[in-house]
Chain A
C-alpha cells in the first residue's frame, strides 16, 4: 500500500522528463556535476588566498543579515572556517530542537583544535519572530557561545535564496509553524557545500569525519 504513491511519483517524473523535457543533456549534466565535485577541495585550497569567492561558494551571494546583536553580517564573513549550517526557527517544538541537539553532538566530538577551525550557523526561516533579541535569548538558553555559534536573521528573499543554495525546502504552514527539511550542511572554508546530512535519524559519524578532514 505504501509503495503506490512512490510508484506514482516515479511515473510522474518519468512522464515529465520523457514527454516534456526532451532534454538530453540533463542527466549528463548531473553526472558531470557529481564528477566535478571531487575536485572541489583541491580547487578550494588553491584559491584560498584570493579575494573573490570560488565559483561554487555560497559566499557569492550579496545578502546582508543580522546577527544576535543586531549587527549587519555578510555570509562572506564566515569564510575561513568550516561552517556547519542548519535552517530552523526557534519556536519550533519538534524537529529543530533535535537538529540543534545534533549540532551540539557534532561539536562534542571535535577536538579543541578542530573546534577552533569550525563554526556553527543557525539561520532562521522565521525572520518576523526570530529577531536579534529573540536569537540572543535562544542562544543563551541553549548555551551557544559567541566563539562557535552564529545566529542569523534575514529578509524573506535572502532566506529563500540561501535555502535554494543549500537545497533546503521550507514552507509556512500556519501562523506559528513551518515545515522544513532537516538538513545539516557542512561548508568547507571557502563556503562550498562539502557534505550534507539529510535526515534526522542519520548517524552523525560521517558528518564528523568530514569536518575533521576539512579542518585539518
Chain B
C-alpha cells in the first residue's frame, strides 16, 4: 500500500514538473496580456493583446543551420524561388556552411531569410511567428516599464538605433538589458518579421487610403516637436518598413523570433 502511495506521489511530482515545463517553453518569455495604443490610433481604439509566449532572443544563424540541416528543401540551393529571392542566406558560405566567420556569427541573429522561411522554421519548432500587435506590444516595453512609448529616454534610444548604420557583422543576441518582459533585442539589433506583416497598407489600395493610411501619414507628418510625435515616428518607420516588404524578400538586417500560444 505504502509503495503505491509513493508511486502516486512520485507520479504527481513528475506530472507537476512537466506541467511546469509546458507552462514555460524553453528560451521563451511569458508575456502577460495587456492593452496598448498603436502609434496611429486615436484614444478610442487601443489594442488588447492576449497572453502568449515570445522567444527571448532572435533566432540565430546556428539555430537556423539546424533547421536547414533537418529540412533540405530550405537549403540555399534547394529553396523554391517563389518562397525566397536570390539573396536568401547569402551571408553564409554554402548550404550548410556559415563560412570563415562561423564562430563570430553563429550566435548572431540569422538574417537574409524570407517570411516563408521564417514561418517554416517556426512551424518546425512547433511555434509560430508573432502577430504584428504582439510584437509591437512587447516592443513598447522598456527595461522597467511595460508601456514606455512616452518615456523620453527609451524613445530616444530607439530612434538613435534607427539612425545608426548597420555593423559589418551583427553582434550576438542577448547582449543588452532585457525589457520588462524578459525579452532581449526588440530594438537595436535587427528588424523582425511578423506573421501578418502584409496587413500594413502603404500604397493607395481599397478603403485603406481613406482610413488607416491617412492616419499613418498624419501621425508621422505632424510637427516633430513633442515626444509623442517622436515615438510615433519610430513606430511609423517600422510600419513603413513592413509595408515595403514582400514575403520572399531576403534583407540583410531582417530576421525573426518565434511566438507560441498560451496553452
Contact = CB atoms under 8 A, between A and B. Distances in A.
A22 to B, nearest CB: 4
Interface of B: 80-83, 85-87, 90, 115-116, 119, 128, 162-166, 191, 195-196, 198-202, 205-208, 211-212, 214, 217-218, 220-221, 236-237, 240-241, 244, 246-247, 250-253
Minimum-distance CB pairs A-B, first 3 = A164-B247, A5-B217, A171-B199
A12 B17 CA distance: 50
A169 B244 CA distance: 11
B253 A23 contact: yes
A75 B211 CA distance: 34
A76 B81 CA distance: 17
A216 interface: no
Contacts of B237: 12, 15-16
B81 A55 contact: yes
A26 B82 contact: no
Interface residues of A, number: 45
A167 interface: yes
B221 A160 contact: no
Interface of A: 4-5, 8-9, 12-13, 15-16, 19-23, 25-26, 29, 32-33, 53, 55-58, 60, 94-95, 157, 160-161, 163-165, 167-171, 173, 179-182, 192, 198-199
Contact of B163 (A19, A60, A179, A198): A19
A27 to B, nearest CB: 11
B90 A164 contact: no
28 contacts: A5-B221, A8-B217, A8-B220, A9-B202, A12-B220, A16-B241, A19-B162, A20-B162, A23-B253, A53-B80, A55-B80, A56-B81, A60-B82, A60-B83, A95-B206, A157-B195, A160-B198, A164-B246, A165-B82, A168-B198, A171-B208, A173-B207, A173-B211, A173-B212, A179-B206, A180-B205, A198-B205, A199-B205
A60 B80 contact: yes
B166 A20 contact: yes
Nearest to A56: B82
Contacts of A57: 80, 82
Contacts of B202: 9
B82 A25 contact: no
A160 to B, nearest CB: 6
